[in-house]
Homo-oligomer: A and B are copies of this chain.
Amino acid sequence: MQILKEEVRANILKAALLEFKQVGYSNASIRRIAMAAGVTSGNIYRYYKNKEQLFDAIVLPVHNQYIDSLEEIRRKVQLSYARGATSAPDFFSRIERAFIELFKTYSSEFTILLNRSEGTKYEGVKPELEDLVSSLLERVLAKPVGDEVSPSAENRAVAGMLASTIVEGICVIFRDNEEGETLKFLIDQYLSVYSKGIAGLIHSDKENRSGCCENNH
């Protein structure tokens, strides 16, 4: 019996999603995808021009919405910054909302976009996100007085580190959880930890550096 076209397309997409999620773009095998989809490898090319476009089919929608979200965050932060209000929780909640939204619609696809796109045109996506978060954090870490001094090298390093780890952490949480209440709760807790932790950092920073951990290496 011949399977209907759209069912086959769905099978291919499902198999490809799994394969890309498991081994990433460059290690993904068209043959394996075909077998998992119950299809011959040649037939995949009736549905997608090549490996790249098969990847696109999975990742492009998220990427588009993701680009939009980033732009929106940038705009809103610019606004609140103009109004003088730039608190850490503000930033985090904004980012959180955008990401939760994205993840609600495309959980696996988003994970693939962020973590499995090595060797594709999307490999720069995560670094860009980190850069955005980093530049936001530089403001947060700067002295609360509205001075115009450029951030210290130290602050820049910390901001970069925090940005990378926050983003990576979000990716990890997304990777490990299906969309649902638990996910939202975890993201919430996660950002709460960072929010409080960074607040503490700023505070202790005013007195002396590394004031909390007693470890003397």
Q: Which residues of A contact B (CB under 8 A)?
A: 23-24, 26-27, 89, 92-93, 96-97, 100, 118-119, 154, 157-158, 160-162, 164-165, 168-169, 171-173, 176, 182, 184-186, 188-201, 204, 209-215, 217
Question: Distance (Å) between the CB of A188 and the closest chain B CB?
Answer: 5
Are the C-beta atoms of A217 and B119 separated by less than 8 Å? Answer: no
When distances are taken between beta carbons in the complex, the residues of chain B under 8 Å from A100 are 217
Q: For the complex formed by this chain, how many copies does it contain in all? A: 4
Most chain B CB inside 10 Å of its own CB: which residue of A188, A193, A196, A198: A193
User: In whole angstroms, what is the CA distance A96 to B210 when docked?
Assistant: 14
Given A97-B217, A168-B172, CB of A198 within 8 Å of CB of B193: yes
When distances are taken between beta carbons in the complex, the residues of chain B under 8 Å from A214 are 89, 93
When distances are taken between beta carbons in the complex, the residues of chain B under 8 Å from A211 are 192
Most chain B CB inside 10 Å of its own CB: which residue of A168, A192, A195: A192
Given A198-B193, A210-B185, CB of A164 within 8 Å of CB of B157: no
Are the C-beta atoms of B188 and A160 separated by less than 8 Å? Answer: no
Question: Distance (Å) between the CB of A21 and the closest chain B CB?
Answer: 12
Are the C-beta atoms of B173 and A165 separated by less than 8 Å? Answer: yes
Question: Distance (Å) between the CB of A39 and the closest chain B CB?
Answer: 18
When distances are taken between beta carbons in the complex, the residues of chain B under 8 Å from A92 are 213
Are the C-beta atoms of A192 and B165 separated by less than 8 Å? Answer: no
Given A200-B196, A213-B92, CB of A165 within 8 Å of CB of B188: no
Are the C-beta atoms of B189 and A161 separated by less than 8 Å? Answer: yes
